[in-house]
Structure 1
Amino acid sequence: MAEKTINPILKQVLELGPTIAFFLIYLRIRDETFTFGGAEYTGFIVSALIFIPILLAAMAVLWMLTGKLSRMQVFTAFMVIFFGGLTAYFNDERFFKMKTTIVYGVMAGLLGIGLLRGQSYLQYVMEEFLPMEKEGWMIFTRRLCYMFAALGIANEIIWRTQTTDVWVKLETFAFPAVLMVFLWVQIYKLQRYFIEPAEVAKD
């Protein structure tokens, strides 16, 4: 199915909405305890479990509207379902918190493998939207690999040493904001490697 164009604001709502919903639900029920099947669950765990169908519903709508889901979106959904299931089964919120570390770790690992092979896997994903010389892609990929690794390490330190409230706020707002600012800064700094549309057409 060919990818369709949708309103960019709607696309952002579908992509970021589930995370914001998780944050708001957590704020509402964080101090409550829920009993299911004779077991008590914290508000955080219940919020994490509610987050799963919200995320899947948003992805389903996005797929119906665009006809496409990125590998990263599918991978993230799998991780959320898998670690959400472990969180519920073991009644242990640590599983859901370490999900973020593993997602960032996998991304850093994949980019790192490509770099070791002299390739930029990031180029395969983004070249259509950001034409750039290979040297630029290698620099961009190396820096993003380091950033994913740093975010993964930061997540481990934060969830192990800080309160759940702090982790939820940083997970919802700080990590995405840091990554977004980092990407924009790198795009600005790598402008000298950009390929003009005319050059791409000649190739």
Structure 2
Amino acid sequence: MTEETLPPAVKLEGKKKLPFWIDFGPLLMFFAAFHYLKRNNPDDALIWAAGVLAVAAVAALGYAWLKYKHTSPILIFSTFVIGIFALAAFIFDDKRFVFMKPTVMNAIFGMGILGGVVFKKNVIKMFMGSAFELPDDKWKILAIRWAIFFFAMAVLNEVIWRNFSENFWANFKVFGFLPLTILFTASQIPFMTKYGHMKTDE
């Protein structure tokens, strides 16, 4: 997925896993564009960098489809949200749309995962079930943990953009959220290995 991440990509049944740069490449372009534009146009650099992110995300999505003949619903959804918030920032000339996009996206992911638990459509199992086997009650616990994590990420984004500098927020967006996601994912490995196991290719 693009940006503020779900669990690390898992190969879909019968489909090749998309390379990591399709998710992270557009973010690096956002980071580079922001710091480059900030030198001459500090007031509007964030909005223009959001536009670069949107274009790069669309390009990465198109490349994934042309090259691998498939993509993921999460990648499509996140690209759509990126585009909508970048467009709103341009139209209203308001950086708050850029700042709040991670909050909204993480909150939607959290609600989607909890909704999946309620309606017995476990999203985390859908993403990771092709590679890992767990009892259904453990998948439920794992999904709730991921939902809480996404809500925490949404709150963290609000705290950072409202209390720290624009430069700090932009840096944290690229080099803060991803490491936190990796650390959280690693923290769940003992639980998963205790109650389940990796699937082996037949």
Which residues of 2 match residues 148-163 of structure 1 at below 5 A?
A: 148-163=150-165
* Equivalent residue pairs, number: 190
Aligned counterparts of 2:199 and 2:27: Cα–Cα separation in 1: 36
Q: Structure 2: 5+ residue runs without aligned partners?
A: 1-12
Look up the SS of the partner of 1:33 in the other structure.
coil
Structure richer in helix, relative to its length: 1
Higher RCO structure (Cα 8 Å, ≥6 apart): 2
Among all aligned residue pairs of Structure 1 and Structure 2, give the percentage whose two residues are the same amino acid.
Answer: 21
Contact 1:3–1:68 at 8 Å: present in 2 too? no
Aligned counterparts of 2:161 and 2:86: Cα–Cα separation in 1: 16
Aligned counterparts of 2:16 and 2:116: Cα–Cα separation in 1: 30
Which residues of 2 match residues 14-163 of structure 1 at below 5 A?
A: 14-33=22-41, 42-117=44-119, 120-163=122-165
- TM-score calculated relative to the size of structure 1: 0.85
- Structure 1 residue 143: Cα displacement: 0.7
Q: What is the one-letter code of the residue matched to 1:24? A: A
Q: CA-to-partner distance for each residue in 1:60-96, whole Å, 9 max, x for gaps?
A: 1112222211111111101111000000001111101
- TM-score calculated relative to the size of structure 2: 0.85
Aligned counterparts of 2:15 and 2:32: Cα–Cα separation in 1: 31
Highest Rg: 1 or 2?
A: 1
Look up the SS of the partner of 1:32 in the other structure.
coil
Q: Structure 1: 5+ residue runs without aligned partners?
A: 35-40
RMSD of the TM alignment (CA)?
2.3
